[in-house]
Amino acid sequence: MPHCAIHRLAERALQYSIAPPASLEVQQRIWAMADRAAGWRGVTDVVPGMNNLTLLFDGSADADALAHNLRLAWASGEKREASGRLVEIPVRYGGDYGPDLNAVAAHTGLSPREVVRRHSEGSYVVYFLGFQPGFAYMGGLPHELATPRRAEPRMVVPAGSVGIGGEQTGIYPAAAPGGWQLIGLASTPLFVPDRDPPSLLAAGDTVRFVAEEIHA
């Protein structure tokens, strides 16, 4: 049983955190907690994160009662299954699209094409959205592809870049600084403000990458 703790983040914010490692089962329990907590008195927002759940509440809520309810919700063991929604995202791997593909290959001891094969054959579940609008943190990266972040982050990572950071893979919805190892580029828009919903991906979705081009 992982260690759990409750932190008071602000006057009207609580966070329930679960010790690593991250896993799909833990996230499923966090999703279920979020569904339940959304209906509690005084709760104004619920924010699932990686191995944690943050509650924002107003003056009508009792923080101690919320903390007690969080403990009970976690102890119940209730889980919410993934939504079953499958999103396929075409990716151009390597070359100018994925300038770190060779570095990932060197770290893993695999050929660049084998890195692409294993990455594109994986099935990834969206744990939560964060960092920037539409950025999905996903579980499911094959363990043999895990690669540390770059020693020197880039000042600008192009929108659509597909990267590996430690034991996770993800896509940058918009240009931003970043230190993940870039292995490809996706042209599918992940976040469009006037779309309903604006984010292509949501917690519980399953993502598969489709190798559209390979430059290796």
Beta-sheet strands, E only, within 20-72: 43-49, 52-57
Distance CA 145, CA 109 (A): 9
Residues of the chain with pLDDT under 70: 1
Q: How is residue 100 annotated by DSSP?
A: T
**194 in a structural domain:** yes
- Domain co-membership, 102 together with 66: no
Let me know if residue 115 belongs to a domain: yes
Among 76, 107, 124, the domain boundary falls at: 76
Note whether 198 and 97 are same-domain residues: yes
74, containing H or E segment: helix 63-75
Is 208 contained in some domain?
A: yes
For residues 22 and 114, membership in a common domain is answered with no
CATH number at residue 137: 2.40.100.10
Task: Provide the residue range defining the domain that includes 195.
Answer: 86-214
pLDDT in tens, 54-83: 999 999 999 999 999 999 999 999 998 877
Does residue 150 sit in helix, strand or coil?
coil
**Segment holding 119, helix H or strand E:** helix 112-121
The answer to whether residues 93 and 149 belong to one domain is yes
Residue 208 CA to residue 31 CA, distance in Å, equals 21
The domain total for the chain is 2
203 in the same domain as 135: yes
Q: Which of 76, 107, 132 is the last residue of a domain?
A: 76
Tell me what pLDDT residue 23 has: 87
Q: Is 159 in a helix, a strand, or coil?
A: coil
Looking at 76, 105, 133, the residue that finishes a domain is: 76
- Please tell me whether residues 19 and 120 are part of one structural domain: no
